[in-house]
């Protein structure tokens, strides 16, 4: 049974919780157990005692970042959280989408729920209420170096809790104080550690990375099915995917992709005498080796992201068991940065693979008897129609852009903030790049799906599809009918991309 309800109680949240809550396919409820409430409030109480004792604690009785040597007067300590939140209000760029913002909120909640951030249970109640009411902070995408946490973007979350800045609510952009009043939510008056705890963590990059992982896992499965359609359309050789062959190079994910291809090609009978080539070109023959890289990466990427999601990743950490303050660098997003840099390379390689398959499908020099550009027009009207010629050009552009973005973000560390943050992860930039590459690759896949189905129909090979493949084709044709006379395809392509992103096609 698909889980549609998750409890936040300090135990590990699965990646699926982030994805499902972000897509409003599940809800997240804060635990009301006395044990959980007490554990959180004990951390806030320890911070209050340390403050009363005038002990030196970073970000509470000291300045921030390189200014940690500056002593904050006791009467100014309550003011510091507001100043921290305020001076980080400098983000620019597009706003994160509602789905992405929900993922960010879940990721921050998961970390705070570990109980080492020195915040009250009440703070988590307010964050959870934002999700419950779908009152989403408007968070700009640009401005984080991903090392002292996602400070600038997360300042917009803290500000909304205080009734400042803006939210996206009920389909409109509105001032946060107005919406909180409408929801009968009192703006928070922060205790000394709470703004720092909200801001100083890896929630933005982690939330985005969870969404990217899920999209990539679906992408590899659908790209495999699209490849099977291309094999049939191009009268390819199914023996390239036989089980014994993949027993001899036994990467598990690569073997799974080959197995999916065998299942999808189960009804396809390739006459060896009719084959144009003994060995298909690499974009068909080596498809499991390209797609399998991503399939093999997904488990270890999930492991890293699961650990990051369920970690105490701000600074300093408040350890109530030993009554000590742990000053460190858990806000550093190195694992997320490397995961996203790796994932975006694997995904862009899939865009390149699909782009090459499309080039074979539309070119009469390579498509073994199909019409040029897969036009469905006939007779004298064939010369008038150009089929998927422009679509193939667009796919080439999308693929080039995806490949261009594969430069690892993590290698561009910049020393910043008076050389205090002198080595940074750039994990949020890596995650943003990865999401853009996924979007471009989904566009490529949408186009190649349309082309592959068109080619199978022109080949007259529908009877060689399995029932699952035939159902897939029928669903696709509800979005985009067979192309006979040329027409604009942008709306149909957008509908197909949306179907991919909504994971419209299911797999057993």
Q: What is the mean pLDDT of each run of 10 residues along the chain (508 residues)?
A: 88 97 97 97 94 85 81 86 93 98 98 97 98 98 92 97 98 98 97 94 98 98 98 95 96 98 91 71 98 98 98 95 93 96 98 98 96 94 94 98 96 87 91 98 98 97 95 97 97 98 93
Q: Return the sign of the alpha-carbon dihedral for residues 109, 111, 116, 117.
A: negative
Residue 355, CA distances (Å) to 12, 72, 239, 272, 394 in order: 40, 59, 23, 26, 10
Please report the pLDDT score of residue 53 as a whole number.
87
> Which tokens in the block code for residue 231?
């094999």
Q: What is the chain's Cα-based Rg?
A: 26
Q: How many Å apart are CA 29 and CA 43, to the nearest integer?
A: 21
- pTM confidence score: 0.97
Please report the pLDDT score of residue 419 as a whole number.
85
Q: Return the sign of the alpha-carbon dihedral for residues 159, 144, 312, 24.
A: positive
Closest CA to 114 of 8, 214, 215: 8
Q: How many Å apart are CA 496 and CA 391, to the nearest integer?
A: 14
Closest CA to 344 of 433, 265, 219, 277: 433
Q: Which of 58, 116, 218, 268 is catalytic?
A: 58
User: For this structure, is 322 an active site residue?
Assistant: no
Q: Cβ(203)–Cβ(107) under 8 Å?
A: yes
Residue 109, phi-psi category: left (phi > 0), alpha (psi -120 to 50), beta (remainder): alpha
């Amino acid at each position: 049974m698909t889980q549609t309800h998750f409890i936040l109680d300090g135990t590990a949240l699965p990646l699926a919780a982030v994805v499902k809550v972000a897509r409003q396919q599940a809800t997240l409820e804060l635990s009301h157990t006395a044990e959980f409430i007490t554990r959180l409030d004990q951390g806030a109480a320890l911070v209050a005692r340390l403050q009363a004792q005038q002990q030196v604690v970073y970000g509470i009785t000291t300045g921030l970042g390189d200014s940690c040597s500056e002593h904050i007067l006791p009467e100014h300590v309550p003011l510091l959280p507001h100043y921290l939140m305020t001076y980080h209000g400098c983000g620019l760029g597009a706003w994160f989408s509602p789905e992405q913002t929900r993922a960010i909120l879940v990721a921050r909640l998961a970390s705070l729920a570990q109980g080492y951030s020195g915040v009250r249970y009440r703070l988590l109640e307010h964050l959870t209420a934002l999700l419950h009411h779908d009152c989403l902070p408007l968070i700009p995408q640009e401005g984080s170096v991903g090392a002292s946490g996602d400070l600038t973007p997360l300042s917009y979350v803290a500000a909304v809790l205080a009734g400042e800045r803006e939210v996206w609510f009920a389909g409109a952009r509105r001032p946060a104080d107005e919406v909180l009043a409408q929801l009968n939510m009192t703006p928070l008056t922060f205790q000394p550690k709470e703004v720092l705890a909200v801001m100083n963590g890896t929630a933005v990059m982690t939330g985005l990375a969870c969404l990217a992982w899920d999209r990539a896992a679906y992408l590899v499965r659908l790209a495999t099915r699209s490849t099977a359609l291309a094999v049939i359309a191009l009268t390819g050789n199914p023996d390239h995917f036989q089980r014994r062959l993949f027993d001899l190079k036994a990467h598990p994910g690569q073997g799974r992709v080959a197995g999916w291809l065998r299942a999808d090609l189960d009804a396809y009978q390739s006459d060896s005498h009719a084959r144009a080539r003994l060995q298909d070109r690499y974009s068909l023959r080596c498809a499991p080796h390209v797609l399998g890289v991503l399939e093999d990466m997904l488990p270890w990427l999930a492991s890293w992201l699961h650990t990051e999601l369920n970690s105490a990743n701000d600074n300093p950490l408040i350890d109530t068991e030993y009554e000590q303050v742990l000053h460190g660098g858990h806000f550093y997003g190195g694992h997320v940065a490397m995961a996203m840099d790796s994932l975006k390379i694997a995904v862009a390689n899939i865009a390149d693979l699909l782009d090459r398959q499309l080039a074979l499908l539309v070119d009469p020099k390579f498509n073994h008897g199909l019409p040029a550009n897969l036009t469905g027009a006939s007779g004298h009207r064939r010369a008038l129609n150009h089929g998927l010629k422009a679509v193939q050009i667009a796919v080439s552009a999308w693929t080039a852009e995806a490949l261009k973005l594969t430069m690892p973000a993590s290698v561009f560390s910049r020393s910043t903030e008076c050389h205090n943050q002198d080595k940074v992860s750039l994990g949020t930039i890596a995650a943003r790049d990865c999401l853009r590459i996924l979007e471009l690759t989904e566009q490529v896949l949408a186009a190649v799906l349309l082309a592959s189905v068109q080619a199978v129909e022109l080949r007259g090979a529908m009877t060689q599809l399995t029932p699952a493949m035939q159902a897939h084709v029928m669903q696709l044709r509800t979005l985009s009918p067979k192309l006979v006379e040329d027409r604009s395809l942008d709306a149909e392509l957008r509908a197909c991309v949306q179907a991919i992103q909504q994971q419209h096609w299911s797999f057993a």
